[in-house]
Structure 1
Amino acid sequence: MHDHPAPVVSDDATARRRPRLEHLMISPRIAFVDVDGTLIETGSEIADSTIEAVRTARHNGHLVYLSTGRASVEIYPAIREIGFDGAISSGGGFAEIGDDLVIERTMPAEAVTRMIGFYEESGYDFYLQSFDELYPSPGVHDRFAEYYASDSRRQAGTASDPASVTGAAANPALKAFADVRPYSLTGIAKSVFLAGDLRAYDRVSEALSADFHVITGTIPHMGRGSGEVTLNGVNKGSTILRLLDRLGLDAASAIGIGDSSNDIEMLQVCGVGIAMGNATDAVKAHADEVTTSVLEDGVWNAFRRNGLV
């Protein structure tokens, strides 16, 4: 259904600093930007051009929203401080306009109970996402501690020095993952499962997909041993449509930018769906355009191509 043009070439630094005045008079647009693998490199690195792209687009009168699988509590202050008009979080479970929570798409308690039961019977680690809380199983902290340590070692070996959204301190998600306590059965929009079993996605999908939307491939190092679960019909794309209706905007004016399987519905519903250069081929197949990768000015190039900067 979509064409796959060649990736956009990077603009030079001088052009990046100079707003394109001919675009300032066009009708305002709205952009939905994924976080991991799009706004930031998986972990914490962010290109300076990405921050500039978001701020310049908003200065030019456009709206820029986050659209992430993270819970709101996982959107670090350094990310929010870039400046956004709102956010979709938990893979479509929640939406904020400014600081106001305007959409909640949570699971019935019995659905949460069923989901937890299957994870525990299978021996899988998992965590639940409400709007402002994470509820991890006991093994989640150690899994992510090792992942973040590996990511830090990898970053230390690179020659470039991009900005970090976490700073020198330990990754802030680890504090939430260490807080093991009784699970909430109310207010839950999404779960994330993690297992050493590479059949985990297949098993979860077989057990739960009649009532739940199950996807994999959102945690790069875990492959099909991990995934995300929301209620059927709850995804970034369907929540974007609800939010656009609230804002009185047409989907044709929307731009969606992402790299992962939980971005596919977003790319499908937005007037222009853009895959990052680092996206999988499956995601690129649903995009209208392909931009450069996350640390190679991908967001800037996408915004420039579409007249936001």
Structure 2
Amino acid sequence: MNWRPRLVALDIDGTLTPVGSNDISPAVKAAITRATEHGAHVVLCTGRSLVGISEVAAKLPVTFAVCSNGAVWWDPALGEVTRRVTFDPGPTIKALLALLPGAVFAVEKTGVGNLSLGEFLPGDLWGVTTQASFDEVAVPTSRLVMRWLDHTPAELSFAVKDLDLPGVEWSVDHTEAWLTAVPPNVTKGTALEELSARLGLTAADALAIGDGSNDVEMLKWAGLGVAMGQAPAHVQAVADEVAPTVLEDGAAQVLNRFFPG
């Protein structure tokens, strides 16, 4: 194959690191470094907040970071947020509370942490978390997250299968009973479309690797979309190919094909 990606879009949790971890294996780090040495733009593309990517981004030579499923853009060279889109989370919180008793919610305070309605589990949220009332959390935010306490991912997926949440883009995690909502028409795919245009590139120049429901639009958008081996069936189904799992350094194995040592 003569094609080599000029833009490499990488999910974090379940792709570069085990879920919830900041640990990147030497093989994955080396493969990403080689990609940049070959002139590729490496973009972290994650559902994590800006605070949540800081430790990972510091370990890698990334060109750009797209956080909060596309709602917050971070330019490492400038050291600043270059785009932040928000929405009103109030109606979404009310709709989910009515459907999912016992759910807890947090709205992102970009670069700081979260305002929390209810108590999350230890380690759930990045940055400083402040307990708040409904009125305090119902303020414009780039990202709303919800955990349905004492329930499984399968139970959450079933409960929301017919749910209509107008005014937001939302996805359910496959490893936890966790839902993320961001502004309407904002996905990893739409963010990468705009970012690539700014870089003078197109989807045909892009390799994207991910493992979650929030990666579907990104994988469909990229010239080559690769799902991780442990990704759910519906994510693997939209990908062009499936890599080994995160525990097998699947992302490194894909990158090594295009950017050999």
TM bucket by the smaller chain?
Answer: 0.7 to 0.9
Picking from 140, 165, 181, the partner of 1:229 is 181
Cα distance in 2, alignment partners of residues 130 and 248 from structure 1 = 31
Question: Does structure 1 conserve the Cα–Cα contact (< 8 Å) formed by 2:5 and 2:206?
Answer: no
SS of the residue 1:285 aligns to: helix
Unmatched runs of 5 consecutive residues or more in structure 1 = 1-22, 149-170
Does 1:56 find its partner at 2:7? no
Cα distance in 2, alignment partners of residues 43 and 257 from structure 1 = 17
Does 1:212 find its partner at 2:163? no
**Which has a greater percent of helix?**
1
Letter of the structure 2 residue corresponding to residue 53 of structure 1: A
Does 1:180 find its partner at 2:136? no
Unmatched runs of 5 consecutive residues or more in structure 2 = none
Aligned pairs for 1:1-309 (under 5 A) are 29-44=6-21, 45-98=23-76, 99-107=79-87, 111-120=88-97, 122-132=101-111, 133-140=113-120, 143=121, 145=122, 173=125, 176-177=128-129, 179-181=130-132, 182-183=136-137, 185-186=139-140, 188-195=141-148, 196-197=150-151, 200-201=156-157, 208-218=164-174, 220=175, 222=176, 225-307=177-259
Q: How big is the shift at 1:28?
A: 6.5
Letter of the structure 1 residue corresponding to residue 168 of structure 2: F
SS of the residue 2:137 aligns to: coil
Q: How big is the shift at 1:211?
A: 2.3
Letter of the structure 1 residue corresponding to residue 82 of structure 2: V
Between the two proteins, the alignment pairs up a number of residues equal to 249
**C-alpha distance 119-27 of structure 1, shift in aligned 2 (>3 A):** closer
Cα distance in 1, alignment partners of residues 212 and 204 from structure 2 = 22
Question: Does structure 2 conserve the Cα–Cα contact (< 8 Å) formed by 1:115 and 1:208?
Answer: no
Question: Does structure 2 conserve the Cα–Cα contact (< 8 Å) formed by 1:135 and 1:184?
Answer: no
Q: How big is the shift at 1:184?
A: 6.3
Kindly name which structure, 1 or 2, has the bigger radius of gyration based on alpha carbons: 1
Residue by residue over 1:188-219, the C-alpha shift from the partner in whole angstroms, topping out at 9 and shown as x without a partner, is: 1121111135655565675652322222125x
Cα distance in 1, alignment partners of residues 63 and 225 from structure 2 = 19
**C-alpha distance 308-285 of structure 1, shift in aligned 2 (>3 A):** farther
Q: How big is the shift at 1:115?
A: 2.3
Question: Does structure 1 conserve the Cα–Cα contact (< 8 Å) formed by 2:105 and 2:147?
Answer: yes
Letter of the structure 2 residue corresponding to residue 263 of structure 1: D
Residue by residue over 1:243-280, the C-alpha shift from the partner in whole angstroms, topping out at 9 and shown as x without a partner, is: 11222211110111000100000001111101111211
Residue by residue over 1:286-307, the C-alpha shift from the partner in whole angstroms, topping out at 9 and shown as x without a partner, is: 1112111112121111112234
Alignment identity in percent? Answer: 27
**C-alpha distance 293-269 of structure 1, shift in aligned 2 (>3 A):** same
TM-score using structure 1 length: 0.72
**C-alpha distance 39-235 of structure 1, shift in aligned 2 (>3 A):** same
**Which has a greater percent of strand?**
2
Question: Does structure 1 conserve the Cα–Cα contact (< 8 Å) formed by 2:31 and 2:255?
Answer: yes
Letter of the structure 2 residue corresponding to residue 138 of structure 1: G
Residue by residue over 1:134-161, the C-alpha shift from the partner in whole angstroms, topping out at 9 and shown as x without a partner, is: 2222311xx2x2xx5xxxxxxxxxxxxx
Question: Does structure 1 conserve the Cα–Cα contact (< 8 Å) formed by 2:90 and 2:139?
Answer: yes
The Cα RMSD (Å) is 2.6
